[in-house]
C-alpha cells in the first residue's frame, strides 16, 4: 500500500536561490553546480536521518530499472516459475518500471533493516520456522519506520513521495543493487558485504531528483554454496529460481497439497526455509539484529510439532498474533506441520497425525493421511483407512487414502 506524504509549502518571497530547496529540486535549474551541492546535502541529510531512526542500510537509486532486471522478470514469468503467485504477473508492467507504478518518481530511497540471528539446529520433534518469521511481522515494523522517515522528509523539502514495503509491485532487490546496498546472489536474494543475507527492505519513492549512489557489483565469484544447499533443487541455473520447487514458496504461498515428490525434501521446515541464505560465505560479516521486534520469540525457535498439530483456529491466531506466520492461516500451517511430522520418523507422533484425521479442513485431513502412513504400523493404518475412506467426501483426501494403498 502506497502512502503519499503531503509536502511542506515552499517558503514565500524572493526569487529562487541555492538556499531554497524548491530551487534545488526544480528541473529547470538542473546542472547548476550550486543546485547539485544542495541536492547532495539533501541526500546525505536523508541518509543520516534514516540511520538515526534505526535503518541499517540506506542507498539512493534513479527511479529506473536496468534492462536486464526487466528481462529477468519477463523470463521468470514466461517460464511459469512464479507458480500460483498470479499477483506477480498481474502487475508485471508496474513491477518492471518504477515510473509506471508512479510517473512522478525521480529517486528511490532504498532502506534495509538487519534481522540477523544465530542459525542453530532445531531440536528433535520440533518444527523449523524461518528466521525472518520468528519475531514480529517485519511489514509492520518496517512500514512504521518508513512512514516516520517519510513525514520527516515531507516537512523539510517540497515534492511528493510514496512509501512501499514488499506488498507493492516493486522489484526491491534490483533497486537495492542499483542503490549500492548489496547484490542479487546466485540464489536471487540480496547479499550485503556488511549484513550478509539478512536484510529486510523498504522503499521511499521521491519526486525529488537526487544523485544516485554507485551500484554494487556481484561478489559471488565461483561460489555455489547456495545452489548446492537447496534441498529441492529449486535453482535451474545460477541467478534463476523456480519458485514451484522452493520450500519457502511451498510452505507459504502454495495453497493446496504439496507434490508428493517434494514432501520428504521439506524435512521439518514448517514456515519458509533459510538453507540457501545461511550457507552464504558473506554471512561471516553479519551480526545479530539490535531491533527488538526482530528478535525471535521463545516459542518459535523450536516449536514442538505435537503441540502445533493440536492448534485450532483461535489458538493459532493467539500464538501467531503479530507474526508473519499468521497470514497463511491455520489450515495451511497445519499442512506444513503434518508434513514435518511425517518426515520426523518418530512413531510417537503418529497419534498427533491420527487425531488430525478428524479435522474439519480437507487440507489438514489429507496431510494427516500422508503423515500417518509414514509413522503408523501397517495394521493400524489400514484400519483407519477402512473406517474413514468410505465416508470421506472430499476428493483430495480420498486421493491421499488411495495413494497410500
Which residue of the set 166, 213, 346, 399 is catalytic? 166
Secondary structure of the chain as H, E, C letters: CCCECCCCCCCCCCCCCCCCHHHHCCHHHCCCHHHHHHHHHHHHHHHHHHHHCCCCEEEEEECCCCHHHHHHHHHHHHCCCCCCCHHHHHCHHHHCCHHHHCCCCCEEEEEEEECCCCCCCCCCCECEECHHHCCCCHHHHHHHHHHHHHHHHHCCCCCCEEEECCCCCCCHHHHHHHCCCCEECCCCCEEECCCECCEEEEEEEECCCCCCCCCCCCCCCCCCHHHHHCCCCCCCECCECCHHHCHHHHHHHCCCCCCCCCHHHHCCEEECCCHHHHCCHHHHHCCCCCCHHHCCCHHHCCCEHHHHCCCCHHHHHHHCCCCHHHHHHHHHHHHHHHHHHHHHCCHHHHHHHHHHHHCCCHHHHHHHHHHHHHHCCHHHHHHHHHHHHHHCCCHHHHHHHHHCC
166 as an active site residue: the answer is yes
Catalytic residues: 166
Amino acid at each position: 500500500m502506497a502512502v503519499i506524504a503531503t509536502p511542506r509549502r515552499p517558503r514565500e518571497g524572493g526569487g529562487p536561490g541555492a538556499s531554497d530547496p524548491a530551487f534545488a529540486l526544480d528541473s529547470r535549474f538542473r546542472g547548476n553546480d550550486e543546485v547539485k551541492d544542495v541536492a547532495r546535502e539533501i541526500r546525505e541529510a536523508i541518509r543520516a536521518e534514516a540511520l538515526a531512526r534505526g535503518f541499517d542500510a540506506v542507498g539512493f537509486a534513479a527511479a529506473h530499472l536496468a534492462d536486464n532486471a526487466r528481462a529477468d522478470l519477463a523470463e521468470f514469468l514466461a517460464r511459469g516459475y512464479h507458480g500460483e503467485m498470479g499477483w506477480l504477473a498481474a502487475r508485471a508492467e508496474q513491477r518492471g518500471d518504477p515510473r509506471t507504478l508512479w510517473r512522478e518518481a525521480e529517486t528511490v530511497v532504498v532502506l534495509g533493516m538487519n534481522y540477523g540471528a544465530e542459525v542453530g539446529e532445531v531440536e528433535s520433534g520440533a518444527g523449523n520456522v524461518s528466521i525472518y518469521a520468528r519475531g514480529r511481522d517485519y511489514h509492520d515494523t518496517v512500514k512504521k519506520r518508513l512512514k516516520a522517515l517519510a513525514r520527516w522528509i515531507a516537512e523539510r523539502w517540497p515534492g511528493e513521495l510514496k512509501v512501499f514495503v514488499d506488498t507493492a509491485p516493486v522489484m526491491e532487490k534490483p533497486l537495492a543493487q542499483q542503490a549500492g546496498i548489496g547484490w542479487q546472489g546466485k540464489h536471487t536474494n540480496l547479499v550485503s558485504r556488511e549484513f550478509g543475507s539478512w536484510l529486510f527492505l523498504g522503499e521511499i519513492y521521491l519526486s525529488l531528483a537526487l544523485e544516485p549512489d554507485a551500484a554494487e557489483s556481484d561478489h559471488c565469484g565461483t561460489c555455489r554454496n547456495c545452489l548446492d544447499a537447496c534441498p529441492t533443487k529449486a535453482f535451474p541455473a545460477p541467478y534463476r529460481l523456480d519458485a514451484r520447487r522452493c520450500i519457502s514458496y511451498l510452505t507459504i504461498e502454495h495453497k493446496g497439497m504439496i507434490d508428493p515428490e517434494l514432501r520428504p525434501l521439506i524435512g521439518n521446515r514448517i514456515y519458509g526455509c533459510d538453507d540457501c541464505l545461511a550457507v552464504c560465505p558473506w554471512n561471516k560479516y553479519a551480526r545479530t539484529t539490535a531491533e527488538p521486534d526482530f528478535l525471535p520469540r521463545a516459542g518459535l525457535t523450536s516449536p514442538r510439532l505435537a503441540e502445533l498439530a493440536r492448534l485450532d483456529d483461535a489458538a493459532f491466531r493467539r500464538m501467531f498474533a503479530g507474526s508473519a506466520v499468521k497470514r497463511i492461516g491455520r489450515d495451511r500451517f497445519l499442512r506444513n506441520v503434518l508434513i514435518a511430522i511425517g518426515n520426523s520418523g518418530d512413531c510417537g507422533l503418529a497419534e498427533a497425525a491420527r487425531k488430525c484425521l478428524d479435522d474439519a479442513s480437507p487440507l489438514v485431513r489429507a496431510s494427516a493421511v500422508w503423515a500417518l502412513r509414514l509413522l503408523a504400523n501397517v495394521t493400524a493404518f489400514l484400519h483407519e483407512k477402512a473406517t474413514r475412506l468410505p465416508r470421506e467426501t472430499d476428493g483430495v483426501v480420498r486421493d491421499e487414502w488411495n495413494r497410500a494403498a
